[in-house]
Structure 1
């Protein structure tokens, strides 16, 4: 410390000859990868990685160029690590929380109709009709899904890539976690609506969740080439809100999957389910 003219202590002036503190390699790696991930999340992943310019990333991350190239000696090496990072993160971001909330809202709006088997089925149809179309739109419009598709296309176009196995392993891990979460959601949701898996599935909701996810993603790809068919409206079964409801193709596909995997639960306790839902919603159950 030095003194100012008034005698008060003053911080010493920085010495221009003194080298700045070195950024640890782990922090350099994290900063550059974070900047690249933000860019991918903003505009998606392109197969040729033209939007990945190392010097731009280095400048935005505020790290030394020399330190960065000690970590990755080429753009290809960096892209490989970035793809592993994307593979870990992308599948986890495919969950559409808005659809889950929408499904619950439809349930709560018609909670008293769950007491009757026919009306309960129509509530189920309304959830599938409305929520699945919302999920389909949300997924195909999301950067996470577009990056997932781009990453899958990248792997297919680089069959002899040395890093392929590691990227696939990271993608598999993220996908497995996603399927587990969705399987648990479908288990709870089907139980609330009085359905259970057919005996041949041994209580395992993962195949069901996997098929639903594949239907949504597959129609998302088909939408690119046949939007008129995929986006059209079709006649479907009556729901709790309409006797002549219009259905989107993804919802019709899910209904077909649902009917193959699930069946009515003979032990369903409608009164207990209704009371539980009302309690969760802060409503007074009927006496």
Structure 2
């Protein structure tokens, strides 16, 4: 018996990496009985039948799992947003941040196409960058023409499993190509190098970039707050967690409660107004969510 990590899943086979060797493994019937599906990123116990094949015996406990893309044990989410074309959207970024925080995944914000900004919009965007850095987020700025920011991002991938996420057209593929040119990803479709045409199976694969692993799939196709309760939403706004220690009531939702330190911080300019407005909007969205049975 040996232990390894699933780095690819395709057509009922799980490719398990142990050291420098990758074994093509099948799952045991026991997983089906327990209704458990092995996922890319899983740490597993497997039995090698020869030097290339084996079968899975056990899936180790996961620290997190995503449904789309189906992947487990993600360390960080690289949230790629462009400065322009499409324009930078703080509400969409906050939506991604909440989803990532709720899965205990460390977010890194990357803003691309900085060199395409005019002076006015540049000033506005720099303010957003300062705001998010002040909250405690790592924000990296990159430009199309130079490798600015790439050198900053590469060491952050070391020893981690990362998922790249963001709208289409923001430059995710260009970014990965700049980090590892031999991938030659077609811009506009992160996974074309896997030879996926219309009739091939969609699959997730962890590819080595630098000294880390990156999920070769566009992350987070669903941006709905399916697994988040309204009462927990404020836990995924780090600046609210910080200021809420001063609230009069425990479990304060920072909406209608008196003596709320979070609302005072918004009024004093210590929490950006737009962040608080997004919080209220998301809160209402979760409250209005149809119950699932």
The answer to whether the superposition gives a TM-score over 0.5 is: no
Which TM-score band applies after superposition, normalised by the shorter structure? under 0.3
- So what's the TM-score if we normalise by structure 1? 0.25
Question: Looking at CA atoms only, which structure, 1 or 2, has the larger radius of gyration?
Answer: 1
Higher strand share: 2
Greater relative CO, 1 or 2 (CA 8 Å, sep 6+): 1
The two structures have a TM-score, normalised by structure 2, of 0.25
More helix per residue? 1
